[in-house]
Structure 1
Amino acid sequence: MYNNNSTKIFVFAFLLILIWKPSTSKNHIFLEAESFEDRGGWVIDQQSMDQMGSPYLLAHGMGVPVEDAKTQVHISEKGKYRIWVRTRDWTALWRVSEFPGEFQVLIDNKPVKTIFGTKGAEWHWQNGGTIQLKEGKVEIALHDMTGFNGRCDAIILTKDLRFTPPVEYDALAQFRRDNSGFPKETIDAGEFDLVVVGGGMAGICTAVTAARLGCKVALIQNRPVLGGNNSSEVRVGLSGLIFQDPYPKLGKLVDEIGSVGHWTLWEAKRNPESERSKRILEIIKNNPEKKIHNAGPKSNYGDDKKLKIVSGEKNIELFLNTHVFAAQESDNRIISVTAKDIVSGKELLFKGQLFADCTGDGNLGYLAGADYRIGRESSKKTGESSAPNDGDNLIMGTSVQWYAEELDSVSSFPECPWAVQFTEETCQYLTHGDWNWETGFFWDQVEDIEHIRDYGLRAVYGNWSFLKNKSKDKKKYQNYKLKWVAYIGGKRESRRLLGDVILKEQDLIQRTAYPDASFTTTWTIDLHYPLALEGFTEEPFLSEAKHIGIEPYAVPYRCLYSRNIENLFMAGRNISVTHVALGTVRVMRTTGMMGEVVGMAAAICVQEDCSPRDVYQKKLNLLKSHLVNGVPQNN
């Protein structure tokens, strides 16, 4: 948890370290990998925790083995123990014979004989055989052998040599609860006027706006940083114009929070005499790397700036590394949500008057039973000229971006026979993988995200290995080294929650005038499709974008709340639009303005004791007055 009281922050973090300890029942010692005392170079991946049951540790070394993750456990009885490790061979789905995710478990620096990550396409318990353990403190370490995304969920040490860990989802979840070493009771995190789930640009702007207008807000984010796609973990630049008619003060908070970059530079050059433009031009003049829009240096994405602004709001309590996994609903209203601290495993309960789904995937709405859609609607259903004749599940995909840097000396990179294989005809001669390194068009972006991300990694590593080791231009790349490869996927589309208005292509093209016009979308209708490469036989890993130009268009407020869950707002790429209309509203300066509108509407709901729908039906003039004034500055 993170809030304004720094002492409280550090005390809370210290207590987590003191409280957590592996379970040491009579026969079993259970260790969650994500709760290791020292994660070394391993990182926590929570993207598929709802599907596989837990966050896990990932050895994301880009071909260089990462530092060991370590923890200590107390052995109360010496003797023979069997070791089980929950892991998987992450490339087995593609029927390759090599094992890029190999790792060892070290006991007091001595490796267990079994090499892990070499069996099973699915998550499972790999039997590591038996070991002798002494009484007292023992150090357990995960030793990465490849740098290529080995993964470990949990470890069991058991005196019961015949014991087999549970595999089925519910049984495994119960086993975790019984053996986590934490209190079984859910912790009451408090009652809030507004609970915002999701800490991307939409979620940040929703929370800060509502807080500045007097609401008590909880902002829950399941990563260690804020920003979502605009964080240093994903590195997508902010796009879309702000300060547009009919409410030219919308976007003030987006501008305050957002990082300066390529799109801001373009906007500034259109009006170079304004004070804001002069500031932007001066920043970029002194920091030319900020012109890199996507997949740029970490500093381009302003993690610290976002955290500083949010933590400076007295009415916000921020919960990082916290994943909402359940919603309690009654009479078409959300009463509370339950979340898990992905590091410690502790569960927290958040009660609220209002809730905002800013997760991108519509996770909260899905948990609460909100109406939603996935995929492309048919033209017969929507009347859209850009929609297919028949609806389908094709969606815009997930990007795994990357870039390399040039060194003064030769840098090697291993052969990757387990990765996507390239030829001179199919290889991409690049040192920078941008938005168009996109996968998962035919997969479920929620349920299959681990597979989608992993295929993207196989494409990146396979292409880079070919460039370095086999291509006709390998000398050109001999001094280049991979600097950064995303392991958090940059998503564009999954669930779209349905509101009282579902924005369509015709609204954008014909400029349908709605009485509740609010934030303005300016991006083209930008739809992505898989790009076929001649001679390439695996599934697509590149995309092409098809653009339909629009004039700036003010989107109705009624796209920003659920039509069947009475106290649920949404902001981000999960709002009430068709697949085609999503092509314009999904860029992040636009989603940030959605958050400003939702924060204003939430404040009206609290102050006037009304619902999101009531804001349209009874309090629209009050909302418009907020839209005219924009988000107040933090005093």
Structure 2
Amino acid sequence: MDKKNKIKDYEVIVIGGGMAGVCAAIASAREGAKTALVNNRPVLGGNASSEIRMHICGADYHGFRQNARETGIIEEILLDNKRVNRSNSFSILDTILWEKTRFQENLDLYLNTHITSLIKEEDKIVSVIGEQLTTEKVFQLNGQVFIDATGDGTIAYLSGAEYMSGREGKKVFGEKYAPDEPDNHTMGNTLLFTAIDMGKKVDFVKPEWANTYKEEDLAYREHHEINSGYWWIEIGGDNLEVIQDGEQIRDELLKAVYGVWDHIKNSGHHNADNFALDWVGFLPGKRESRRIVGDYILREQDLFAGRIFEDAIAYGGWPMDMHTVGGIRTRREPNDFIMMEDLYTIPYRSIYSKNIGNLMLAGRDISASHMAFGSTRVMATCAVIGQAAGTAAAMCTEKKILPRGLNEHISELQQKLMKDDCFIPGFKNEDKDDQALSAKVSASSFLENCEPENIINGCPRTVKDQINAWIAKSSDKAPWIELAFQNRVSPKEIRIKFDSNLSKEIMVSMTHSVRERQQEGTPKEIVKDYDIEFYDKEILVGKREIRDNHRRLSCTMVDNISCDKIRVKPLSTWGAEQISIYEIRVY
């Protein structure tokens, strides 16, 4: 390789910088693995970036499924965003994602870098090779474990991994809602737009190349909210293949966007006289392409059953959101929401390749049927899958095993994920290193069913009718909660999980109705200021003062303290009257 070309060695290499890839790379680096994150766009976030601007949906189904919002790194990112991004700007979110990855220890970020080829030895990837378009450098990145977070499963495809595409027929997996016969159809791509009120009448001259739509053409497509739109402007996946015909699909989508806007502006029925287009995307958001085959293929029946897998590492809950073949070119309902009663889990065996030994999967390319994919594909679900994949990959490098071998250590992986505030339905904190689990817990006051012992019951969120939090009485003017230990402890870290109201949405959105449902700024329920006091035989031997906390998971490092009692004293929230704490861990 010449002087412009670089060879770099890593333990974990994540390709794809959407929400799944970002969370995978951060998780891997935080676990101590030397990690690279490679993205072929100038910004991170994928469909949530300023290039596409889709809001981050997940298991909470726009807040309609209570206490179901994803936590972990995706929660951290979105709470960081809520703290500083008061203008609801996708460009600011771009910057937050760049900051989270660019300044993360053990993580190197490669933007504008497109992987074009790879080197294999037998059934393992040795290196990926890509060109950074802004520098004309060619990188050969050598790694031990590779995570395909490209969405399209590009690395898996280049490596020869087994994959699926299109729709399986009913007989393939015995799925009730699958089409009768298999076909090659996928969900299509979408371009979004925004419009602003100019305060005066503005004309719109339809380009001669734009489509024409009458009201009957859009009969099943809601378009009364005209400041942004529309997920149903969807093309591809039928006679146009979403990857190979991507450029043509983009052009057809532009014709559709401007045609829809012409209808809104010039039909006279949408009160749009004062509105003007402000932004139109040029990078289509993709929904579906390749799905990589793992040791287990998640299917429709697993979702309906709310199945709790023994090797569960993440969960979903968005409906099976099945889009109509042909998209906006049809006069049919644009999608069908097939609801599940409960959350379901995603098994570890679905996030690594069946036949490429060191390839893991993060995001919408995991091992799932087309029907199950209809639910797992949304970004918040992809993000928690990504965190699981990154954590697992780092564990593989530390243990010097391949991803399949980590099945023997699945409990350790699950406990690591829960420690980092990932929720896995059906599992609880049983971390042998958490000294809080053996402590006696007391508090200044508490509400009924919100006892102080809840903070060590292993489940740090409300699940159905189980609150699982300590909540102090609102009349308690100086609340505290205390962990007393039988013997002295020398804590190095205190991890506290606060209430961030997991029933409300917190993502950036262009959609006015979605933004209206959100609280501005940091969720009011989070404890803002608090003290941690350390006692030895009733004598105060140490104190940490935490101020302006805006995160659900707040971690405080401790040095040179030996104590037999730890007291947490919440001082204020971001606006809520009640003080709530879901979990305190001591390491």
TM class by shorter-chain length? 0.5 to 0.7
Residue 186 of structure 1 deviates from its aligned partner by: 6.7
CA distance 1:302–1:358, shift in 2 (3 Å): same
Q: Does 1:258 align with 2:54?
A: no
* Greater mean alpha carbon deviation, residues 457-466 or residues 556-565: 457-466
Q: Aligned partners of 2:32 and 2:234: how far apart in 1?
A: 41
Provide the C-alpha distance between the structure 2 equivalents of 1:548 and 1:200, rounded to a whole number of angstroms.
26
Deviations along 1:550-583, one digit per CA (max 9) or x if unpaired, are 4111111110000000000011000000000001
**2:132 pairs with 1:341:** yes
1:79-118 Cα offsets, whole Å, 9 max, x none, are: xxxxxxxxxxxxxxxxxxxxxxxxxxxxxxxxxxxxxxxx
Cα distance in 2, alignment partners of residues 558 and 571 from structure 1:
12
- Residue 54 of structure 2: aligned partner: 236
Alignment check: 8 A CA contact 1:567 1:612 kept: yes
- CA pair 472-424 structure 1, distance change in 2 beyond 3 A: farther
Structure 1 counterpart of 2:375: 584
Aligned 8 A contact 1:572 1:591 in 2: yes
Once residues 599 and 473 of structure 1 are traced to their aligned partners in structure 2, the CA distance between those partners, rounded to angstroms, is: 50
Residue among 367, 370, 381 paired with 2:161: 370
1:627 counterpart = 2:417: yes
Identify the residue that residue 90 of structure 2 maps to in structure 1: 298
For residues 229 and 540 of structure 1, the distance between their equivalents in structure 2, rounded to whole angstroms, comes to 26
3-state DSSP of counterpart to 2:194: strand
**Structure 1 residues 398-477: aligned runs within 5 Å:** 398-426=189-217, 431=226, 432-442=228-238, 443-468=240-265, 470-473=266-269, 476-477=271-272
8 Å CA contact 1:601–1:615 kept in 2: the answer is: yes
Residue in structure 1 matched with residue 454 of structure 2 by the alignment: none
Query: Is the CA contact (8 Å cut-off) linking 2:167 and 2:179 kept in structure 1?
Result: yes
1:81-480 correspondence runs (5 A) = 187-241=5-59, 251-258=71-78, 287=86, 290=88, 297-299=89-91, 302-426=93-217, 431=226, 432-442=228-238, 443-468=240-265, 470-473=266-269, 476-480=271-275
Structure of greater relative contact order (alpha carbons < 8 Å, 6+ residues apart):
2
Higher helix fraction (1 or 2): 1
CA 1:359–1:545 in 2, change beyond 3 Å: closer, same or farther?
same
Q: Distance in 1 between matches of 2:116 and 2:281?
A: 24
Q: Which moved more, 1:368-377 or 1:598-607?
A: 598-607
Q: Which piece of structure 1 moves more, 341-350 or 201-210?
A: 341-350
In 2, Cα distance between the equivalents of 1:359 and 1:213?
A: 22
Does the Cα contact within 8 Å between 1:250 and 1:630 map onto a contact in 2?
Answer: no
Q: Is the 8 A contact 2:235 2:327 kept in 1?
A: no
Distance 2:168 2:276 in 1: 43
Change (3 A) 1:410 1:604: same
Tell me, in whole angstroms, the C-alpha distance in 2 between the residues paired with 1:400 and 1:302.
19
Q: Which runs of 5+ in 2 are unaligned?
A: 61-67, 422-494, 496-554, 558-587
Per the normalisation by structure 2, the TM-score is: 0.66
CA distance in 1, matches of 2:345, 2:204: 50
Describe the SS at the equivalent of 2:242.
Answer: coil
Cα distance in 2 for partners of 1:478, 1:423 equals: 18
Q: Is the 8 A contact 2:233 2:327 kept in 1?
A: no
Distance 1:571 1:634, change over 3 A: farther
Q: Which residue of 1 aligns with 2:288?
A: 493
Secondary structure, aligned partner of 1:619: helix
Matched position secondary structure for 1:460: helix
Q: How far 1:484 moved relative to its partner?
A: 1.2
Match for 1:514 among 297, 300, 309?
309
Which of 329, 347, 366 is the matching residue for 1:575? 366
Q: Find the partner of 1:603 among 376, 394, 403.
A: 394
Would the aligned equivalents of 2:196 and 2:278 in 1 still touch at CA under 8 Å? Answer: yes
User: Deviation per CA, 1:595-629, whole angstroms, max 9, x where unpaired?
Assistant: 1111111111111100000001x222321221231
Could you tell me how far apart the structure 1 residues matched to 2:315 and 2:186 are? 24
CA distance in 2, matches of 1:305, 1:626: 25
| Residue pairs, 1:531-550, within 5 angstroms | 543-550=334-341
Q: Which amino acid aligns with 2:100?
A: I
Contact 1:439–1:542 (8 Å) recurs in 2: no
Q: CA–CA distance in 1 between the matches of 2:243 and 2:347?
A: 27
Contact 1:439–1:541 (Cα < 8 Å) also in 2: no
Report the Cα distance in structure 1 between the residues aligned to 2:251 and 2:134, rounded to whole angstroms.
Answer: 23
1:541/1:336 CA distance change after superposition, 3 Å: farther
Q: Which position in structure 2 is the counterpart of 1:553?
A: 344
- Shift of residue 539, structure 1, vs aligned partner: 6.1
- For 2:381 and 2:393, the matched residues in 1 are separated by 18
SS of 1:350's equivalent in the other structure is: strand
Contact 2:293–2:366 (8 Å) recurs in 1: yes
Q: Which amino acid aligns with 1:211?
A: A
In 2, the alpha carbon distance for the partners of 1:344 and 1:540 equals 47
2:230 and 2:6 mapped to 1: Cα distance?
A: 42
Residue 200 of structure 1, CA deviation: 0.7
Q: CA deviation at 1:349?
A: 0.9
C-alpha change, 1:496 and 1:466, in structure 2 (3 Å) is same
Cα deviation for residue 236 of structure 1 reads: 1.1
What's the CA shift for 1:193? 0.3
Report if aligned partners of 1:456, 1:541 keep a CA contact under 8 Å in 2: no
Count, aligned residues: 413
Please tell me the residue identity of whatever aligns with 1:619. Answer: H
1:437–1:541: 8 Å Cα contact kept in structure 2? no
CA RMSD of aligned residues (A): 2.8
For residue 418 of structure 1, give the secondary structure of its aligned residue in structure 2.
coil
Q: Distance in 1 between matches of 2:167 and 2:73?
A: 33
With structure 1 as the length reference, what TM-score do the two structures score?
A: 0.61
Distance verdict in 2 for CA 1:576–1:226, change over 3 Å: same
- Check 1:253–1:414 CA distance in 2 against 1; reply closer, same or farther (3 A cut): same
**Structure 2 match to 1:527:** 322
